[in-house]
Amino acid sequence: MPPDRAHAEPPDRRVTVTDDEVWRPGRRDVYWFVGGPLDGRVQTRPAAEPVPSCIRYVHLHEGPKIVHYYDLTEVAGHGGEYRLRAS
């Protein structure tokens, strides 16, 4: 099951954030997925919400289920990247 609030974004899309947006109340942090079946997806969360350091993604299809793990690498305190864990 994909992580909450994840949605597909074009992988070459750039996000530009101004200083006013970074420090305003209700700010949301941005997390990118790198590698595996979630590659290129973006997830946003309220800045005050705790963030899991690892996300498990289970791919279900007609064959056996496939489990992928993504580990968080924070980027500049305003979000981060979830990178596919090496097997």
Which token pair is 73? 């690498």
Per-residue confidence (pLDDT) for residue 34, from 0 to 100: 95
Per-residue confidence (pLDDT) for residue 15, from 0 to 100: 52
Per-residue confidence (pLDDT) for residue 84, from 0 to 100: 96
pLDDT(32) > 60: yes
Number of structural domains, the chain?
Answer: 1
Q: Provide CB contacts within 8 A for 42, sequence distance 6+.
A: 6, 7, 9, 15, 30, 31, 32, 33
d(CA 9, CA 45): 16
Classify residue 12: in a domain, yes or no.
yes
Classify residue 72: in a domain, yes or no.
yes
Classify residue 79: in a domain, yes or no.
yes
Per-residue confidence (pLDDT) for residue 62, from 0 to 100: 85
Classify residue 80: in a domain, yes or no.
yes
Which token pair is 12? 């070459």
Classify residue 1: in a domain, yes or no.
no
Per-residue confidence (pLDDT) for residue 11, from 0 to 100: 47
Classify residue 47: in a domain, yes or no.
yes
Task: Write out the residue range of the structural domain in which residue 21 sits.
Answer: 6-84
Q: What is the pLDDT of residues 40-81, one digit of tens each?
A: 999 998 888 888 999 999 988 888 889 999 999 987 767 899
Q: Which of helix, strand or coil describes residue 38?
A: helix
First to last CA, the chain: 19
